[in-house]
Amino acid sequence: MEVKLHDIGEGMTEAHVSHFFVKAGDSVKADQPLVEVQTDKMTAEIPSPSAGTIKEILVSEGTTIEVGTVVLLMEAAGYKPEEKGKKAEPVSAAVSMSSAPAAPRNRKRILASPYTRKIARENGVDITEIEGTGAAGRITDEDVTRFIEGSNTVQTQPAEKEMEDQATETNQGTAESQESIPFRGRRKQIGMKMKSSLMTIPHCTHFEEIDVTNLMELRSQLKRADTNISASAFFVKALSLALKEFPIFNSRVDEEKEQITFIREHHIGVATDTEEGLIVPVVKNVENKSLKAIHSEMKEYTLKAKENKLTSKDVTGGTFTISNVGPMGGSIGATPIINYPEVALVSFHKTKKRPMVNDDDEIVIRSMMNISMSFDHRAADGATAVAFTNWFAELIENPNLMIVELI
C-alpha cells in the first residue's frame, strides 16, 4: 500500500517533510500519525489509512516533496502474499497502480511552480523537456524563457563570472564568521507563494490615513462596561460592510475563462506573526457575525497560531486578507503582497497622536492611523480603490454610523 502526500490545503502543491513518527518495521494502527509535514500555511500530520506494518520509507526528513509523491510503503494488516492473484483481483484494482511494472515513482519528477507551468503551457512547451537550473533541479521561469528562445543552457557573462569569483574569494576568507539558517518549511513556502503572487497579479498600492480617535473612545466606553472588543474586530467588520458596497474586492479573476467572479461570503484572513513565519487564519462569514463573535474568533485563532495548532479548515477559504502591524510599532506604511488568488489586501499601521486641522480651522490632537491597500489592477482601478477606502474610513471615523449599518 502506498501512502502519498495528498492535498491538505487550498492550492497546495508541495510540503516540507518535518518529521517521521515511524520507521521501517513498525506496526501501526488506523489513523495513527505517520509523518509531519509543513506547508506554507500550517503543520499537518499524515495518518495511516489502515492498521498494518511499515515496509519502507521513501523520502527523507528535511526534503520538500510535491503533492502525489509516495512517502512510504506499508503492508495492511491481514495481507497474505500467497493469496495475491486469486480472488483478490476485483478488490486489488485500487492498488494495482502501486504494483504495476511501470511504477510512477520511477518517472522523472518535474519540480516547477504553478505559474512556471502556466508559462510553459501558454507557449506550447512540454515542460518535461526542460532542464531545470533551480534547487534540486527545479524548473524556473527563466528556464522556460530560455527554452522558448531556443537555448536551454545558462550563459554566465564575463562580468558576472568575475563578480562570482570575487564573491567566492571573499567568502573563503570569511567562512568561519558567516552564519546561515535553512530556507525551507513555512519560510520557503511563504517565499514561493509571494513570488507567484507578484508575478501573477499586477499590484497597485493605495495609501490613506484614518482618524481613529472616536473609535478609541468607543472602545474605552465598552471596556468600562466590561465589554472588550479589539480594534482589529472593528476593522474586520467595517471592511465587510465596505465589501458589500464594493464587491469587486471580494472576487476572483480568471484570465483563462475571461471572467471575474464575485463571492457573496466575506471570509476575512487575518495575517498572524509566529516564530515559524506568517500564517493567515480565516474568520468565516464575517458579514453575518457580531463584533463580539469576530473578536472572540480572532483571539482564538491567534492563540492557536502561536501554539501551531491551526487546522486546514482554519486557514483555507479566505476571500480578503488584512495585516495589522500597528501594535508592533514602527510601521507607517508598506506595499503588502496580495494573498493570491484574492484581489486585495489591507494593512493597518501604527496609530499616532498628531496635530490636525479640523473643519473649523482649529488645531486639535487626533489619533491617526495609516493604511496601505494593495489591489489587483486587473480587477479594479485606483478610483474604485479610493472610493472603497473612503467608505471604510467613514465607518471607522464615525463608529456610530457602523452601528447604524448593522441594524
272: pLDDT strictly greater than 80: yes
**Class of CATH domain 109-164+186-200:** few secondary structures
Model confidence over 130-160: pLDDT tens digits?
888 876 677 887 788 888 877 544 444 444 5
Section 359-374 average pLDDT: 94
Fold of 202-406: Chloramphenicol Acetyltransferase (3.30.559)
Section 65-71 average pLDDT: 90
CATH 3.30.559.10 intervals, the chain: 202-406
Section 14-24 average pLDDT: 87
| Residues with Cβ within 8 Å of residue 375, at least 6 apart in sequence | 203, 204, 205, 206, 249, 338, 343, 344, 345, 385
Section 281-287 average pLDDT: 96
Section 116-143 average pLDDT: 78
Among all residues, which ones are annotated catalytic? 377
pLDDT confidence tier of residue 164, bands split at 50, 70 and 90: low
For 2-106, the fitting CATH number among 2.130.10.10, 2.40.50.100, 3.30.420.40, 1.10.3720.10 is: 2.40.50.100
pLDDT score at 244? 96
308: pLDDT strictly greater than 70: yes
Nearest by Cα to 349 from 324, 386, 320, 385: 324
Model confidence over 56-65: pLDDT tens digits?
999 998 888 8
CATH 4.10.320.10 intervals, the chain: 109-164+186-200
**Sheet of strand 344-357, all strands in order from the earlier edge strand to the far edge:** 203-211, 363-376, 344-357, 320-324, 268-270, 282-283
Helices (H), 141-209: 141-148, 158-174, 185-200
106: pLDDT strictly greater than 50: no
